[in-house]
Amino acid sequence: MIDVHCHILPGIDDGAKSIEDSLLMAREAEREGIHTIIATPHLNSQYDNRKQLILTKVGELNQALQKASIDVTILPGQEPRIYGEILEDIKNNEIQTLNDSQYIFIEFPSNHVPRYTEKLLFDLQVQGLTPIIVHPERNSELIERPEVLYQLVEKGALTQVTASSLCGYFGKKIKNYSIQLVEANLTHFIASDAHNIVNRSFKMEEAFHLIDSKFGTDFVYLYQENAELLIEGKNVIKEIPVQIKKRKKFLIF
């Protein structure tokens, strides 16, 4: 398995605090059958993780993993919170795409989708990049207005759902919406977004068991193949998305 979203680099965001934490996470990943992880530290108002720092940290962690005989490979990535100057920072070589591919993560604030989102995602695509919206299932506006996500996917954006969301660790509402996103072909990757091994672990194995039982092995293969295609910089598989119908609330008199 390949995990395309993980906060495993030590001491630079709210993920692994030390190299020891990173090694514990890598051992847990190996136990789940994950052999490759894209390290995606935050880039936002709190954490200023630029490309060069990420590349240095990835090199150091791979050396430590080799020394500890842990058979997991770390690749470079980044999780930028959406902001207006991202195109400028891409030109200045401060943004780390996923394993130097055309794929770039974009994180939204948890409670809304900024007004300039559609234009920015379009501009990224004009530059030859493919934006991947991370954990849309945890955005309160997208839960209430799923048509907004549908329109962004229709216009070329991809999305990544978190394994823990599918398994119910963020609550029933988020679990149900995650399942709807899979049903509606509105997500293209399942990843861990793991931060530690205590309360934000990988849960990839569990998520794929759930997908297998609910949707069949074809869906499991699709998500696993897409992760491989992503790290190789190839075009991923995109099924035709459909609108999620809002369930009507019936009033009982």
pLDDT digits (tens, 9 = 90+) for 187-228: 999 999 999 999 999 999 999 999 999 999 999 999 999 999
Mean pLDDT of the chain: 96
Average the pLDDT over 85-98 and give the result. 97
Is 250 within a domain? no
Is residue 137 situated within a structural domain? yes
pLDDT at 249 over 60: no
- Comparing CA positions, the residue from 48, 57, 102 lying closest to residue 76 is 57
- CATH number, position 177: 3.20.20.140
Report CA dihedral (119, 134, 80, 12) to the nearest 10 degrees.
170
Whether residue 131 lies inside any domain: the answer is yes
- Residue 243 in any domain: the answer is no
Is a pLDDT exceeding 90 seen at residue 33? yes
For residue 99, being part of any structural domain is answered with yes
Residue 90 is part of which domain span? 2-231
54-81: average pLDDT: 98
**β-bridge pairing 42-43 and 79-80:** parallel
Query: Considering the entire predicted model, what is its pTM?
Result: 0.95
Which band of pLDDT confidence, cut at 50, 70 and 90, is reported for residue 247?
low
CA dihedral angle for residue 164, residue 165, residue 171, residue 172, rounded to 10 degrees: -130
Residue 248 pLDDT > 60: no
The answer to whether residue 238 sits within a structural domain is: no
Query: In the prediction, which pLDDT does 253 show?
Result: 46
46-62 tens-digit pLDDT: 999 999 999 999 999 99
Nearest to 152 by CA among 88, 44, 241, 33: 241
Residue 58 lies in a domain: yes
Total domains in the chain come to 1
**Would residue 178 count as lying in a domain?**
yes
In this prediction, residue 26 carries a pLDDT of 98
